[in-house]
């Protein structure tokens, strides 16, 4: 069973590493995300949200799902630790 | 070395300098945590960072004093309620947007609740959501420390 789990982990890791080969080159100004998304956010984000900090505007508004489930991940971690460890009545 | 361990086990490890420093600095750490949360619109920061600062202030109390002291300042029940409401604030605002007829997490539709500029609502919505994130992160940080440090007994920690 352990060998199987190790094999599955290595296989998944290999597939993920293979997938990174198709990423756009790092810092390439001509890559698709830099030509469409980045320019749109840089030009429109302050106009559309009135938040001068682009990072906050992106995380809180355009990428709200991501931030929400980040909080849910932390929440689940806390609840998991409570479920496993806590032994007091208080 | 051995006597130091014995000292710590007998609860004689309390350090006046440490405790006084913590007592004096904790309010400022909390103030800075609130500042980081509410100033996230204009400078680096936001709910996660501010929440971690607020949680660290309580962890500092638990480290310098002991675990029951930090539980007196921040009861376990309050911690659980705030942790849940933090996550609920975020999901609730997102769902409210959907219920009011807009998209999930599209804060501009909240203008039907309070008629101000939709763009201002997007800014305000981000702030409200960050408050939820801050609350949740603060409580989960502290509860993780409590459980990890005391092995779940919640009576004495490090």
Residue A36 pLDDT: 84
> Is A16 part of a structural domain of the chain?
no
Residue A31 exposed, middle or buried by CB count within 10 Å (0-12, 13-18, 19+)? middle
> What band does A33 get if pLDDT is binned at 50, 70 and 90?
confident
Residue A5 exposed, middle or buried by CB count within 10 Å (0-12, 13-18, 19+)? exposed
Q: What b-and-e string marks burial along B60-82, b requiring 16 or more CB atoms within 10 Å of the CB?
A: bbbbbbbbeebbeebebeebeeb
For chain B, the domains span 2-150
Length of chain A: 90
Contacts of A16 (CB under 8 A, 6+ apart): none
> Is A23 part of a structural domain of the chain?
no
Residue B95 pLDDT: 93
> Is A4 part of a structural domain of the chain?
no
> Tell me: the pLDDT tens digits for B85-142?
999 999 999 999 999 988 998 898 988 888 889 899 999 999 999 999 999 999 999 9
> What band does B2 get if pLDDT is binned at 50, 70 and 90?
low
Best residue of B144, B149, B150 to probe chain A, by most A CBs closer than 10 Å:
B144
Residue B12 pLDDT: 55
With an 8 Å Cβ cutoff, are B126 and A82 in contact? no
Alpha-carbon distance values, B8 to B15, B52, B71, B157 (Å): 11, 28, 20, 11
Whether the complex's predicted ipTM is more than 0.90 is answered with: no
Can you tell me the distance from the alpha carbon of B40 to that of B136, in angstroms, rounded to the nearest whole number?
16
Residue B32 pLDDT > 80: yes
Q: CB B46: neighbour CB atoms within 10 A?
A: 26
Q: Which of A28-32, A80-84, B70-74 has the lowest mean pLDDT?
A: A28-32
Residue of A nearest to B76 (CA): A90
Q: What's the total number of domains in chain A? A: 1
> Is A74 part of a structural domain of the chain?
yes
Residue B9 pLDDT: 58
Best residue of A63, A66, A78 to probe chain B, by most B CBs closer than 10 Å:
A78
Residue B5 pLDDT > 60: no
């Amino acid at each position: 069973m352990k060998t199987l789990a190790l094999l599955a982990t290595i296989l998944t890791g290999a597939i993920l590493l293979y997938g990174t080969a198709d990423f756009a080159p790092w810092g390439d100004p001509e890559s698709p995300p830099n030509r469409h998304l980045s320019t749109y956010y840089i030009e429109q984000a302050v106009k559309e949200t009135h938040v001068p900090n682009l990072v906050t505007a992106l995380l809180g508004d355009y990428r709200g799902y991501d931030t929400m489930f980040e909080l849910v991940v932390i929440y689940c971690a806390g609840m998991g630790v409570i479920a496993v460890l806590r032994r007091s009545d208080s | 070395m051995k006597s130091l361990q014995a000292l710590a086990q007998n609860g004689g490890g309390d350090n006046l300098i440490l405790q006084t420093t913590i007592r004096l600095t904790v309010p400022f750490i909390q103030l800075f945590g609130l500042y980081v949360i509410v100033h996230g619109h204009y400078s680096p920061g936001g709910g996660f960072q501010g929440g971690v600062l607020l949680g660290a202030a309580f962890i500092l109390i638990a480290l310098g004093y002991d675990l029951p002291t930090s539980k007196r300042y921040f009861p376990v029940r309050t911690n659980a309620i705030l942790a849940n409401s933090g996550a609920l604030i975020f999901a609730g605002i997102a769902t409210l947007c959907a219920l009011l007829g807009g998209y999930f997490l599209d804060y501009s539709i909240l203008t039907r609740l309070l008629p101000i500029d939709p763009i201002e609502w997007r800014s305000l919505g981000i702030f409200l959501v960050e408050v939820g994130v801050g609350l949740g992160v603060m409580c989960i940080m502290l509860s993780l420390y409590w459980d990890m440090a005391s092995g779940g007994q919640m009576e004495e920690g490090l």
